[in-house]
Amino acid sequence: MTCIFCEIARGEKPAKIFYKDDATIVFADINPKAPIHLLVCPREHHERIYKLPADLVLRLTKTIGIIAEKLQLEDNFRLQLNNGARAGQIIDHLHFHFISRGSDEHLEYLTEEQL
C-alpha cells in the first residue's frame, strides 16, 4: 500500500518540513486553509487515534507544544483530526491539522542541509 505521508516521512516525497524528530514529523499542508496550516504526524504509519500507542500520543502532544512555541502561537491555534472517511479523512496516515490565523513570521521550513 502506498501512503503519501509515509513517503514524506521517509524523505521520498518532497514536502515543506517545519519540524521532525525520531517519532514525529510536521509539514505544510499542500492546500492550506489558513496562513498557518501544518500537518502533525507520527513517522510510523497509524490510521486511527484510538489505536495509537500511548507513547506516540504523548510524543505528538509534545511536538504540538514545540511547534506552538517555535511559532510563538501558544495561545492561538486550533487542532483538527478527521477520524475516518465519513468524517473527511482522505489520507489514512493519522495526522492533526495545526491551524492558525496568527502571524507566520516564525514559519521557517527546514533547509536541505537540516533534513
By CB under 6 A, residue 15 contacts ligand 5GP:
yes
**Which of 10, 11, 21, 30 is close enough to bind ligand 5GP by CB under 6 A?**
30
Contact 18, 26 (CB under 8 A): yes
Residues 46-85 that bind ligand 5GP (CB under 6 A): 82
DSSP-based helix, strand, coil % in the chain, nearest 5: 30, 20, 50
Task: Supply angle C-alpha 7, 13, 17, rounded to 5.
Answer: 95
By CB under 6 A, residue 19 contacts ligand 5GP:
no
Residues near ligand 5GP (CB under 6 A): 4, 15, 27-31, 82, 88-91
Instruction: Just list the catalytic residues.
Output: 95
